[in-house]
Structure formats: C-alpha cells, structure tokens
Amino acid sequence: MTNRIAVIDRDSCRVEDCGLLCRRLCPLVRNKIEVIKVDDKGKPIISEELCIGCGICVNKCPFKAISIVNLPGELEGECIHRYGVNGFKLFRLPIPARSTVLGLVGKNGVGKSTSLRILAGKLKPNLGVVEGDPPDWDSIIEYFGGTSLKDYFAKLASGNLRVAYKPQYIDAIPRVFKGEASRLLSKLDERGVMDYIVSILELREVIDRRVDVLSGGELQRVAIAAVVCRDADVYIFDEPSSYLDVRQRIKVARVIRWLAKQDVMVVVAEHDLIVLDYMSDMISVLYGDPGVYGIVSYPRAVRDGINMFLEGYIPSDNVRFRSQPIRFQVKPPTQVAESIDIEYSWGFMVKKLGGFTLRVEPGFIRRGEVIGILGPNGIGKTTFVKLLAGLEKPDEGDALPGGVKVSYKPQYISGDYDGVVEVLLRKTLGDRMESSFFREEIYRPFRLDKILDRRVSDLSGGELQKLAIAICLSMDADIYLLDEPSAYLDVEERLAMARAVRRIVENLGRVAFVVEHDILVQDFIADRLMVFSGIPGVDGYGHQPMDMRSGMNMFLKELGVTFRRDRQTYRPRANKEGSRLDRIQKEMGEYYYTAATIEEE
Ligand code: ADP
Ligand code: ADP
Ligand code: SF4
Ligand code: SF4
C-alpha cells in the first residue's frame, strides 16, 4: 500500500496564465481544507500531509505541471528479511554484477549493513517469516527465481561462492586477532598481492606494529587490505572511508576500482558522496523509514543513481522519499565581510610532541565565521585544535587569550556513560534544554527525539556522534571546535550538521573551527580554509586561513585531484587522472571552484 500525492514542477507551472486553476478545482480546497497554499511568488504548493492524490488537478492543469507520485510505503510480497515481530523490515536486495562496483547510498538505519550481511552470507534471509520455521535455502533460492540473485544464493548456500567482507565497525578486529598486522595480512594473502596493496595503501611503516596499537585510519586500511588480499568472487566493503583522510580515501577508491577489473563482484556502502561517485559503476539507493523499513532501488549508472538520491525521487518506482532535493552551488561562498571585526587571533606557534613537531602560521577569525581545517591524518590538526582549546600549551608563540570559553567535540567520542540520553542532556545542558533555540536549531534537526530514552552505551556510532555534536553546539561558548563531526553520519545528517553549525555561528555571532575530511561538507560549512601539510607523524605545518578557492586549490594540488561539476545538480565530481578536464584544470590552476568545467555530455 502506498500513499499517492500530487507534486508540481515549478518550472512548468504558469500561474499567471491559468489563474491558479488547480487550487480552484481541488475538491479539498473547496471543502476548506488548505491542501494547496501559495508561495511568495504566487505559485501553488501542495501539502504532503493533506493531499489525497485524487488526481483531479493533474488532469485540469493546462500546462501539465502536476503529476502524481507515490510516497514510500512497504512493498507487499517483497520482504527479504525481518528482525523479529515488529522488527526492521528489508525489501529487495542490491544486485551485484561481475566486473562492477555497486555502491549503496541511503540514510542510516535503512538497511545497508543488513543487505551487505545477507550478501556476505553472514545473515540468512528469512523472507519476512518471523514466526514458525524460517525458510530453508531451497525456498530462498526459489524466491529469487528469474533474477541473477538465484544463482548468487544457490552458490552461496552450497559453499561455492567465496565472499570477502569488511564490516562497518572495525574495532572488533584487535579483539579477534592478536599480533602484528603483517601476520594478519600474510595469513590472508591468497592472491599474492599483499606487497602491492601494502604499498598503494601506504601501510609499509605500519604493518610491523601490533593490530591493537593501530590508529583508526591505520586499522581501516589494514582491514581493507586484508579483504583485498583474499581470493574471492564477491568483495563487500561497509563504509571503507571512515577515519581516512582525503588522500587515503582516494587511494582506497582506486584499489576498489582495480579489484573490480579482475572479473569479481564488488559492493560498497559509503556516505562520502565524492568517494562513492569516484569508485562506483552502479548505484542502488536505499530509502524508507529508518529503523522501521528499507527498500533497495534497482541499480542505476553511477551518475544517475547519485543524482536520483540527491533529487529524493526514484523514477522506476515513481516514489518521492524526500520533499526537497539536495542542491549545490558552483561559486565559492562569499566571505564574511572584511569590515566585520576580527574576533580572535593567534601568533606563530610551535608544539613538539615526542618525535612530532607542529608549526602554525599566525591567523585570525572574524565574528560569525567558520574556518574549515583540511589535511592528512597525523599532520597536527587535532593538536592545533587542542592548542586553541587550551588543552595543550604551545612551546613557542601564543594561542588564544585566556578567559575564552571553548566548546570542543573531540575526534574520538566515548559512549561509556551509564545512563540514558535524556539524563545526560539534562545533566550537561540544564535549563538550556528547554530553550526554543535548543529545540529549533539542535533537537529537531538532529532528530534527538528518536534516541532520548536510549542508553548512551547502546547508541550506534552515528547516534553517538549526533549526541556529541548536539552537546557541543548547545554549550554557551565563544568558540566551537569540532574534530571530524561527520564520521558515521549519513549524507543528510552531515548536511543538517553543517547547517546547524552555520546557523549557530551566524545567528549568535560566534566562531567555529571544523576539522573535516568530507570535501562536500567543507564546501557547505566553511567560509575560509586552513590547510595543513608536511610529513605525517614527523613535521606538520598549518598555513594561515585562506579564502575557499585558494584553500581548495592548495589542498587539491598536493593531492593531484581536480573536480568538474555535474550538469544537473552541480555536485563536484572527481576527474579521472589525465583526462581532458583534469589536464585543462591543472593548467589553469583551478582544482575545485570552476564553472568552466561543468560536464558537457
Ligand atoms: P544501515 O546500515 O542502513 O544504517 P542497518 O542495516 O544497520 O542500517 O540497520 C537497519 C535497522 O535494522 C536498524 O534499525 C537496526 O536497528 C536494525 N537491526 C540491525 N541489526 C539488527 C539485529 N541483529 N536485530 C534487530 N534489529 C537489527
Ligand atoms: P591529526 O589530527 O592531523 O591526525 P594529530 O594532531 O592527532 O594529527 O597528531 C599529530 C602527530 O602527533 C601524530 O603523529 C601523533 O601520533 C603525534 N602525537 C599526538 N599527541 C601526542 C602525544 N601526546 N605524544 C606524542 N605524540 C603525539
Ligand atoms: Fe500552475 Fe498548473 Fe496549478 Fe495553473 S493549474 S497554477 S499552471 S500547477
Ligand atoms: Fe487536490 Fe486531488 Fe490535486 Fe491533491 S491530487 S491537490 S487532493 S486535486
């Protein structure tokens, strides 16, 4: 059963010529139900809550501007798995294909990991049967009759399909494997590619260390290398870019593309849209009601698939799953006016930590400004943030003056609070929790209502991240420091987070520094950029904040990656190395913000 509603294509609507015919003829409006309102340009807007999808307006509109779409609903007879009575339901499955990277994108909680675990043979699908005997493999294979998944599950059930799988959460690896990373990799190197992969993923210096002392980014790359070294028919990666910097994300994407060329099937779930776009051939969008049900769309070519996700509309099912499309702009944001007072400034700073030395150029930040921080892992970004926060003292130079109130969200957040979310929020925020500011800017956009009565220790990575950001932004502070706020968040949550940070900083006249590896998020959130370069773990150099264009150019030049713009959504897409646009842009020195290279196809 699906809900149907009318939607209006604003470009086709010519209200000045028809005199708002749809509104006059809609039976609900005649019954004084405000289903069609009028916006400030005089054009009609149809309410999703009130429209009954009768279709009368569709036929009456002289300019064919109105159509009927379905709202997402559960699909009778297509349930692949259900987690118990009243549990989450998954409808349809991604369809892997040989020599193809199939990318999955969708909100958290709509079944990406569930789909991947089913394809990996870690979870036997029950076809929605939760009472009585679950179906046996024969019935499951029969269910997929007529599709390529029949052969897939027949081989999986008989042990003739080899699957290599990297789970979303990698922190369990050190618990099951004790010893050096090199021992883990040699044990799994069934294809004799370990040396090649170790060198591409820059793991040479790391592999002699024990798995339990590796950083998040190192462990992620070891886990990916371990999967790639296996000899399998299907390779599955659940969120491979968590903890990785931009350069490492691009390297991992290249390894995954290389893998698919070996006549194997590859499936990847990923929230960094630039990385997903770069590595995938096909895309399946997952949509639905997080935690309740999820539907997997049929695979589409990568560009169409990601655009479909951004549009929030699945043409093959005629379903709209988001009321507003996600849009990008080509031009860099206008900067905070130079006339606005400088709020804080810092001097040239030096900080030594063991064998690592960080040097930072002097800089300043204006009121209402967000400075984005970009750079490789291990280059001193967190150390800089801690110097600003007063958690570390510089060996030379001056950080910020004393008495500045700083609210800091660290990179790694701990969930070991023994209690429920609401109690923690009340304890840390007190009366602020009742303020309309908290309700409008934080509680609602972060959907905190969904986790209020959950235990903090039971929250998923994304839920914990949202809670930590919400607490950080709710504090009364002069400066907000957010270290990797988008880790574990889905695309929509990342954009909601970026909007919340911007609104708080702009409306309250505060300032923020944001360390972030998702380039799209930096594009949304930052007014200016600080680029860190040098030799990770040895020498870090923080350049003074620059305008977005100069910052992106400096950062991307070092990486050797240029971006063109998608002609429909204007989203940035990484150019293939050595392609025509890549060469032209490198010659121009324009790596990111350039209207000249909107796709021509
Ligand atoms: P995604 O990967 O898209 O974030 P998941 O597949 O991890 O989504 O989860 C989808 C839903 O299924 C979530 O609401 C989650 O709570 C629920 N779920 C996942 N695993 C289990 C399980 N073992 N038992 C019950 N519910 C589960
Ligand atoms: P980033 O945030 O850019 O990943 P960090 O600022 O966390 O980098 O770390 C920069 C370097 O400093 C890393 O090599 C890290 O191992 C080292 N480092 C950080 N803290 C300490 C410390 N307390 N003692 C010794 N080395 C440290
Ligand atoms: Fe626009 Fe069609 Fe409605 Fe007229 S009838 S206002 S053209 S949508
Ligand atoms: Fe009104 Fe029916 Fe059109 Fe909805 S579909 S706006 S209820 S006429």
Q: What is the pLDDT of residue 399?
A: 87
Rg (CA), the chain: 25
Q: What is the pLDDT of residue 328?
A: 80
Report how far apart, in Å, the C-alpha atoms of 320 and of each of 43, 309, 469 are.
21, 10, 29
Per-residue model confidence as pLDDT tens digits over 437-453: 888 888 888 889 889 99
**Residue nearest (by alpha carbon) to ligand 4 atom 2:** 54
Q: What is the CATH number of domain 88-313?
A: 3.40.50.300
Beta carbons of 273 and 106 less than 8 angstroms apart: no
Q: Which helix or strand (DSSP H or E) is residue 188 part of?
A: helix 181-188
Q: Any residues with Cβ below 6 Å from ligand 4, and which?
A: 6, 26, 28, 35-36, 46, 51-57
Per-residue model confidence as pLDDT tens digits over 279-325: 999 999 999 988 889 999 999 999 999 999 999 999 988 999 998 88
Beta carbons of 222 and 184 less than 8 angstroms apart: yes
C-alpha 441/C-alpha 439 separation (Å) is 6
Beta pairing class for 511-515 and 479-483: parallel
CATH of 342-559, one of 3.40.50.300, 3.10.20.30, 3.90.228.20, 3.30.413.10: 3.40.50.300
In the chain, which segments carry CATH 3.30.70.20? 2-74
State the average pLDDT over residues 320-341.
75
For the cut 50, the answer to whether the pLDDT of residue 601 exceeds it is no
Beta carbons of 160 and 232 less than 8 angstroms apart: no
Per-residue model confidence as pLDDT tens digits over 158-168: 999 999 999 98
Tokens of 503: 């609104």
Q: Which of 56, 68, 69, 70 to mutate to test the pocket of ligand 4 (most atoms within 8 A of CB)?
A: 56
Q: What is the pLDDT of residue 570?
A: 86
Q: Which CATH class is domain 2-74?
A: alpha beta
Q: How many other C-beta atoms can be found within 10 angstroms of the C-beta atom of residue 464?
A: 21
Per-residue model confidence as pLDDT tens digits over 482-532: 999 998 999 999 999 999 999 999 999 999 999 999 999 999 999 999 999
Per-residue model confidence as pLDDT tens digits over 19-56: 999 999 999 999 999 999 998 889 999 988 899 999 99
Tokens of 75: 């699909």
In percent, how much of the chain has pLDDT > 90? 69
C-alpha 340/C-alpha 333 separation (Å) is 16
Residues whose CB falls within 8 Å of the CB of residue 355, separated by 6 or more in sequence, listed in order: 537, 538
* Confidence at 215, pLDDT banded by 50, 70, 90: confident
Per-residue model confidence as pLDDT tens digits over 554-567: 999 999 999 998 88
Question: How high is the mean pLDDT of the chain?
Answer: 91
Q: How many other C-beta atoms can be found within 10 angstroms of the C-beta atom of residue 80?
A: 23
Long-range pairs, 196-204, Cβ under 8 A, ≥24: 197/225, 197/228, 197/229, 197/255, 198/225, 200/251, 200/254, 200/255, 201/225, 201/248, 201/251, 201/252, 201/255, 202/248, 202/251
Q: Which atom of ligand 1 is nearest to the CA of 117?
A: 6
Region of 40 (left: φ > 0; alpha: ψ -120 to 50; beta: rest) is alpha
Kindly write down the DSSP assignment for every residue of 316-351, as one continuous string: TTTEE--SS-----SSPPPPPPTTSPEEEEE--EEE
Using alpha carbons, select from 492, 447, 501 the residue that is nearest to residue 469: 501
Tokens of 58: 């569709």
State the average pLDDT over residues 318-335.
79
Beta carbons of 477 and 444 less than 8 angstroms apart: no
State the average pLDDT over residues 530-537.
94
Q: How many other C-beta atoms can be found within 10 angstroms of the C-beta atom of residue 345?
A: 12
* Confidence at 155, pLDDT banded by 50, 70, 90: very high
Residue 95 Cα to ligand 1 middle (Å): 20
Q: Any residues with Cβ below 6 Å from ligand 2, and which?
A: 353-354, 356, 375, 377-383, 537
Dihedral of alpha carbons 242, 244, 245, 251, sign: negative
Only one residue has tokens 């409306």, namely 507
Residue 354 Cα to ligand 2 middle (Å): 9
Q: How many residues does the chain have?
A: 601
Q: What is the pLDDT of residue 324?
A: 83
Beta carbons of 516 and 377 less than 8 angstroms apart: no
* Confidence at 331, pLDDT banded by 50, 70, 90: low
Report how far apart, in Å, the C-alpha atoms of 150 and of each of 185, 285, 542, 571 are.
33, 21, 54, 37
Cβ of residue 108 lying under 6 Å from some atom of ligand 1: yes
Report how far apart, in Å, the C-alpha atoms of 558 and of each of 552, 561, 597 are.
10, 8, 20
Tell me the residue ranges of DSSP E strands in 275-328: 282-289, 293-296, 300-301, 313-314, 319-320
Cβ of residue 293 lying under 6 Å from some atom of ligand 1: no
State the average pLDDT over residues 583-591.
93
Cβ of residue 63 lying under 6 Å from some atom of ligand 3: yes
Q: Which atom of ligand 1 is nearest to the CA of 114?
A: 6
C-alpha 389/C-alpha 406 separation (Å) is 6
C-alpha 270/C-alpha 103 separation (Å) is 7
In the chain, which segments carry CATH 3.40.50.300? 88-313, 342-559
Q: What is the pLDDT of residue 336?
A: 61
**Residue nearest (by alpha carbon) to ligand 3 atom 3:** 22
Beta carbons of 515 and 483 less than 8 angstroms apart: yes
Using alpha carbons, select from 563, 554, 558 the residue that is nearest to residue 585: 563
C-alpha 229/C-alpha 502 separation (Å) is 43
